[in-house]
Amino acid sequence: MQGGHYFLLLFVGPLVSVSIACSTEHANQTTFDVSDYGAVSGGHIDDSEAFLKAWNAACASETENPTLIVPPKRFLLNPIVFSGPCRAKNINFLIFGRLLAPDSPGAWKELDPSQWLAFNGVSGLNIAGPGRINGRGKAWWDQSCRDHPRLVGCSTLAPTAVKLVSCKNSSISEIHFVNSSQTHVLIRDCDGINIENVLIEAPERSPNTDGIHISASHNVVITNAIIGTGDDCVSIGDHTSNIAISYVKCGPGHGISIGSLGRSGNFVQVENIHVSKVYLQGTTNGARIKTWQVGRGYVRRVTFEHIFFRSVKNPIIIDQNYCNKSDACKEMETGVHITDVSFNQLYGTSSSRVAVNLNCSRSVACTSIYLKSIYLRSALAGQNVTSNCTNAHGVAFGVIQPDPCL
């Protein structure tokens, strides 16, 4: 099993076939090419106004499937918000070309620094490739407070490349995301989202460049994704349910994470999270749940299954004592209850000694944790791996290595 890529079904490529009706009658216009609205290709002139005009026309269109088209060229876009609701039930945003973010944070002067391309309140939105969205985040990384804490005027917040907020029945497919200044794709307050065949790439050392972050959303499917960034490949935040993640290759990065949850002492509600067929390579974490002691509420009905690790630092980890000051978390009476979590058929190698770490709180212990069919070895020759359970209760079944602590 070692070596070799285990999931051959991963693919990313220009697989869409599009048929575009070239109607020119304005009233029934179905395609809205940004070039017809004044966008100038080349990547040197800001085209956000032209994109907004094309979007507004498509969004107001009475035809069934209005389609905004970005031709196969380069376009520079300043921060922009595409707002809904639109008149049609579905609206397509078809990117054949490349969208480039401004290469300097100066372009955000007086604008919301948390976003670059935002879609707000749109239903039936289909963002499709085969195009590329380049956040050109380097200048933001260079002024990040995390990496440069002593820098005067450093930023804790940088723009997310694509943000979908308050959306329904939407999808993102066949897009290649690179170098976002912070999170690449953020889904918030949405219901019914499909993300498939995406490739997301940023340097291992880029700060907070999560691949996909989901919060306050339900019924989200992520499948066939290749993600390698400086932070979580996929992270799942609070108020989320019915999330299915499968056929993901992750690395470098921080793995597939549920959390961190409950930071502000809020009541956490996370349930029905299913992660399967994931290959993690050289990541800091594999299957992870992390919560703050100050939080309340629950995380329940979570499955991580059919996962293959290659040299992952913490392949299986629940950290209910998560905090931002290392080794200085005071013990509290509160906690997020983590229950009904199953780790099933997890194989591969760990680059640290503790391959299974279930670190739960004394006051709100983890319950109904299942470890089934697990075989983890050390990535280092001659080393052993162990598991370490603290306040974790459940059942281990068919765990070959490390010796289960449940």
Query: Using H for helix, E for strand and C for coil, what is the string for 86-131?
Result: CCCCCEEEEECCEEECCCCHHHHCCCCCCEEEEEECCECEEEECCC
Query: With CB under 6 A as the contact rule, which of the stretches 214-222, 295-303, 337-345, 383-391 interacts with ligand NAG?
Result: 383-391
Q: Compose the 63-92 pattern: x for residues touching ligand NAG by CB under 6 A, - for all others.
A: --------------------------x---
Per the annotation, the verdict on 254 as an active-site residue is: yes
328 binds ligand NAG (CB under 6 A): no
Instruction: By CB under 6 A, tell whether 327 contacts ligand NAG.
Output: yes
Kindly tell me which residue out of 73, 74, 148, 263 binds ligand NAG, with binding defined by CB under 6 A: 263
Quick note: the x/- pattern for ligand NAG over 149-168, rule CB under 6 A, is -------------------x
- Looking at the Cβ atoms of 88 and 307, the one nearer to ligand NAG is 88
Out of 242, 388, 391, 401, which residue is the one contacting ligand NAG (CB under 6 A)? Answer: 388
Query: 133 CB contacts (<8 Å, ≥6 apart)?
Result: 95, 98, 99, 117, 161, 162, 175, 176, 177, 178
Q: Using the rule CB under 6 A, which residue among 2, 104, 156, 383 binds ligand NAG?
A: 383
Query: How far is 31 from 61, CA to CA, in rounded Å?
Result: 10
For residues 99 to 138, the per-residue mask of contacts with ligand NAG, x marking binding by CB under 6 A and - elsewhere, is: ------------------------xx---------x---x
| Contact by Cβ (8 Å): 309, 286 | yes
Question: Cβ closer to ligand NAG: 5 or 146?
Answer: 146
Contacts of 357 (CB under 8 A, 6+ apart): 314, 316, 317, 318, 319, 387, 388
In this chain, which of 144, 321, 339, 351 binds ligand NAG, going by CB under 6 A?
A: 321
CB of 8 to ligand NAG, least distance (A): 25
Tokens 């499917």, residue located: 221
356 binds ligand NAG (CB under 6 A): no
Q: Report CA dihedral (249, 262, 302, 274) to the nearest 10 degrees.
A: -40
CA distances in angstroms from 249 to 72, 173, 184, listed in the order given: 27, 16, 16
Distance of CA 337 to the CA centre of its chain: 24
The residue annotated as part of the active site, out of 231, 232, 319, 340, is: 231
Which is nearer to ligand NAG, 38 or 104 (by Cβ)? 104
Active site (catalytic) residues: 231, 254
